Amino acid sequence: MPKSTPKKPAFIYARGRRKTAVARIRLFKKSGETLVNNLAIAKYFPGAIAKKMYEEPLIICNVLDKYHFTVKVVGSGKYGQLDAVIHGLSRALTIANPDFRPLLKKRGLLTRDPRTRQRRMIGMGGKSRRQKQSPKR
C-alpha cells in the first residue's frame, strides 16, 4: 500500500469574537463569493458602512481580490456579528501571512474588544445600573 501524504488544507481557519457573537472563518486563497451563514455577505450585512468595515482588513493588506472567505456566525446582534467577522478575518490573514500582523495590529483589528453587557445586579430594581425609585414623602 503506498504511503499517503497528508493533504494541505484548502483553507485557513480562524475564530473571531465580539460581545456574545462568535464568527468561524474559512479563508480561501482564491477569489470567489464570500458567504455568511450561506447568504451573500452583501445581503447579510447590507449597506455601504458595513461593506467598508468588512473589506477593511483585506484593503489594508492589499489582498482584496486574492482571497475570499466563508463565515458561520452566531450570537449577539448584527453589528456585534460584523465586528466578530472582522476580528476573525484579521486573525486568518495573519495566519496566512505573518507580515500582515503589524499592519492589522496598528489599526486595532487583532484586538478582541472586551466590552460586554453588564450583568444584572440584585437590589437594583431590574437592570444593572438602575436605581430603585425613592418615595417622595
Q: Using alpha carbons, select from 35, 19, 37 the residue that is nearest to residue 27.
A: 35
Among candidates 18, 30, 45, which has minimal Cα distance to 114? 18
The CATH number corresponding to 13-106 among 3.50.50.60, 3.30.230.10, 3.90.1150.10, 3.40.50.2300 equals 3.30.230.10
How do the domains of the chain map onto residue ranges?
13-106
**CA–CA separation, 19 and 114 (whole Å):** 8
Query: How do residues 95-114 score in pLDDT, each as one tens digit?
Result: 999 999 999 999 999 999 99
Predicted TM-score (pTM) of this structure? 0.87
User: What pLDDT digit, counting tens, does each position of 10-43 carry?
Assistant: 899 999 999 999 999 999 998 889 999 999 999 9
H or E element that contains 111: none
Q: State pLDDT tens for residues 115-133.
A: 999 999 888 888 888 888 8
Model confidence at 135: pLDDT above 90: no
Burial class from Cβ neighbours inside 10 Å (0-12, 13-18, 19+) for residue 106 reads exposed
